[in-house]
């Protein structure tokens, strides 16, 4: 292992050298190692250039470029090294051709180190790289547009898969409502047909090398956050799911126990439930990575209060829609105060919101907007918000991901919305935090629509969060 670590700098150089198909100058040894430090963080980086497969290919290309020339060979090129004994025979190694040989060894060593060593906690580095960039698929098995076979079989087609891949996404977060699988009176009797539909959806994603997070949106279906709720039914439900989905490769399928648990009055209740859920899943799927979160709608504040669980193969997730006055302005499913807000700017300041205040009749909404202005939300404030989550994760030695973020577009100024997306992406990228925009098929994110066989989506939003719109 120590040899692998020492070879990281050379392995990085090897990738660059083999890709550019140029000879390797000696001064690179002194100039490139600082940049090579970035390669050591391969497990949390998103660029496919540094995937294990690409490194392996680069390494073998370096091997092919190697030359060991027998002493006295007329084909020996300039700058021969002094004669050296090598495997019992005398050879002259060309200086310019020796480095690809060493680099090939180093790149292969890096592949071994990255594939074998876990990253943060006990989650393999390969799985963290799978959760680098993603989109939420929100309406296939949660609030479906139609409750029929046609919808469940064909909601997203091959062109959607190609688009998701072309955007540079490595995974989807597949939102699933329990009521699509079980009846509240019979929570231990899943609908086999619905599981078959979900399997087909998962298989479709995997066929395009898109990993899948099985994301359960309980949404008070089993009333877990109330005195009459029966957490044991939800635990039994997850036992069923784990037993069913354990057939999939743990490198490709992840289990997210519950989307946005609330439990504002009693977060300790959620902690106890989540602990039982982890135990239930582990009984059937010992190797799959599980995604957990805090109370308070899975917010950053909820994450910071969450006790770290004993299981090491866990990712810790948070959602970020801060500041809510901006991201959810005018949204019909929010409180009357958010619904009363239109044309709210970002960044915020007292001066920026002043022209809007006279247009708001609701007194509480006006105070809500004034508070937003006084808080002066901008890139730095958003960065500090994400920093707090990253510091918590670093302190506890656990991997982190952002499972949701987005901006309702109907009333938000378009340019400000894109600026918020850019600021959010930069804040997450600073810490190498994988993220998943809400959503592929929801207007807060890409808002995909199918128009006469053509897929239409918000390219500006996709570009703002760093997705590759130029590949379509």
SS3 55: helix
Provide CB contacts within 8 A for 33, sequence distance 6+: 9
- State how far the Cα of 387 lies from the Cα of 394, in Å rounded to an integer: 10
**Residue 383, both tokens:** 């960065």
Half-sphere exposure of 134 (CA within 13 A, CB side): 30
Query: Does 186 lie in the same domain as 55?
Result: no
Are 99 and 139 contained in the same domain?
no
Q: Is the pLDDT of residue 95 over 50?
A: no
The tokens describing 213, both together, are 């997070």
Is residue 394 one of the residues assigned to a domain? yes
Give domain status of residue 327, yes or no: no
Instruction: Using the 3D structure, point to which of 116, 151, 168 is the last residue of a domain.
Output: 116
- Conformation bin of residue 393: beta by default, left when phi > 0, alpha when psi is -120 to 50: alpha
As for how many domains the chain has, the answer is: 2
Q: How confident is the model at residue 120 (pLDDT cuts 50, 70, 90)?
A: low
Task: Give SS3 for 300.
Answer: helix
| In-domain check, residue 184 | yes
Share of the chain above pLDDT 90, in %: 72
Point out the domain boundary residue: 88, 116, 144. 116
pLDDT tens track for 235-262: 999 999 999 999 999 999 999 999 999 9
Within a domain: 351: no
Tell me the pLDDT tens digit for each residue of 419-445: 999 999 999 999 999 999 999 999 999
Pick from 235, 273, 241: nearest CA to 254:
241
CA angle 412, 418, 420 (to 5 degrees): 85
Task: Judge whether residue 10 has pLDDT over 60.
Answer: no
CA distance 334 to 169: 29
Last residue of a domain, one of 65, 96, 116: 116
Q: pTM of this prediction?
A: 0.78
Say whether both 44 and 20 belong to one domain.
yes
Q: 294 Cβ partners below 8 Å, 6+ apart? A: 261, 267, 270, 301, 302, 303, 304, 305, 306, 318
- Establish if 363 belongs to a structural domain: no
Same domain for 72 and 27: yes
Tell me, yes or no, whether 348 lies in a domain.
Answer: no
Q: Are residues 99 and 158 in the same domain?
A: no
Of 101, 89, 194, the C-alpha closest to 151 is 194
Same domain, 263 and 298: yes
260 and 145 inside one domain? yes
**Residue 139 shares a structural domain with residue 170:** yes
CATH of the domain at 276: 3.20.20.80
Residues 250, 389, single domain; the answer is yes
**Same domain membership, residue 314 and residue 187:** yes
Residues 141 and 105 in one domain: no
128 vs 48, higher pLDDT = 128
- Which residues make beta-bridge pairs with 449? 456
29 plus 147 within the same structural domain: no
Has residue 283 got a pLDDT over 90? yes
Q: Which two tokens stand for residue 445?
A: 């994110």
pLDDT of residue 75: 37
Please classify residue 269 by burial: count the beta carbons closer than 10 Å to its beta carbon, then call 0-12 exposed, 13-18 middle and 19+ buried: middle
Domain that holds residue 8: 2-116
């Amino acid at each position: 292992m120590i040899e692998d670590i020492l070879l990281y700098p050379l392995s990085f150089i090897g990738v660059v050298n083999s890709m550019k198909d140029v000879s390797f100058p000696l001064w690179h040894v002194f100039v490139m190692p600082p940049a090579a430090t970035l390669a050591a963080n391969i497990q949390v980086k998103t660029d496919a250039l540094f995937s294990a497969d690409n490194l392996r290919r680069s390494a073998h290309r370096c091997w092919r470029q190697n030359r060991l020339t027998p002493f006295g060979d007329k084909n020996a090129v300039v700058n021969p090294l002094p004669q050296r004994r090598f495997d019992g025979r005398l050879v002259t190694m060309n200086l310019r051709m020796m480095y690809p040989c060493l680099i090939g060894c180093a790149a292969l060593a890096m592949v071994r180190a990255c594939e074998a060593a876990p990253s943060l906690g006990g989650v393999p580095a390969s799985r963290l790289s799978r959760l680098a960039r993603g989109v939420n698929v929100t309406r296939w098995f949660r609030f479906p547009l139609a409750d029929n076979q046609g919808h469940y079989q064909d909601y997203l087609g091959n062109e959607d898969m190609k688009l998701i891949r072309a955007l540079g996404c490595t995974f989807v977060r597949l939102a699933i409502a329990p009521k699509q699988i079980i009846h509240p009176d019979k929570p231990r009797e899943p609908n086999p047909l619905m599981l078959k539909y979900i399997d087909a959806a998962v298989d479709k994603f995997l066929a395009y090398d898109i990993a899948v997070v099985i994301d359960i949106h309980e949404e008070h279906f089993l009333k877990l956050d109330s005195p009459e709720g029966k957490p044991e039914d939800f635990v039994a439900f997850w036992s069923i799911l784990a037993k069913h989905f354990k057939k999939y490769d743990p490198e490709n399928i992840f289990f997210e126990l519950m989307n946005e648990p609330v439990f504002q009055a009693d977060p300790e209740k959620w902690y106890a439930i989540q602990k039982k859920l982890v135990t239930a899943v582990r009984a059937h799927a010992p190797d799959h990575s599980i995604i957990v979160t805090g109370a308070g709608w899975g917010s950053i504040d909820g994450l910071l209060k969450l006790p770290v669980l004993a299981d090491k193969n866990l990712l810790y997730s948070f959602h970020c829609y801060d500041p809510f006055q901006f991201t959810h302005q005018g949204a019909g499913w929010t409180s009357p105060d958010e619904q009363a807000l239109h044309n709210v700017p970002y960044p915020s300041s007292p001066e920026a919101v002043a022209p809007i205040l006279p247009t708001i009749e609701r007194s509480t909404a006006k105070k809500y907007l004034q508070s937003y202005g006084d808080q002066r939300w901008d890139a730095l404030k958003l960065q500090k918000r994400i920093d707090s989550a990253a510091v918590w994760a670093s302190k506890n030695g656990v991997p982190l991901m952002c499972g949701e973020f987005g901006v309702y577009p109907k009333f938000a100024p378009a340019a400000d919305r894109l600026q918020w997306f850019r600021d959010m992406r930069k804040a997450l990228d600073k810490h190498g935090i994988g993220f998943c925009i809400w959503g592929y098929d929801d207007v807060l994110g890409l808002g995909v629509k199918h128009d006469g066989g053509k897929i239409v989506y918000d390219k500006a939003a996709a570009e703002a969060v760093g997705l590759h719109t130029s590949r379509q």
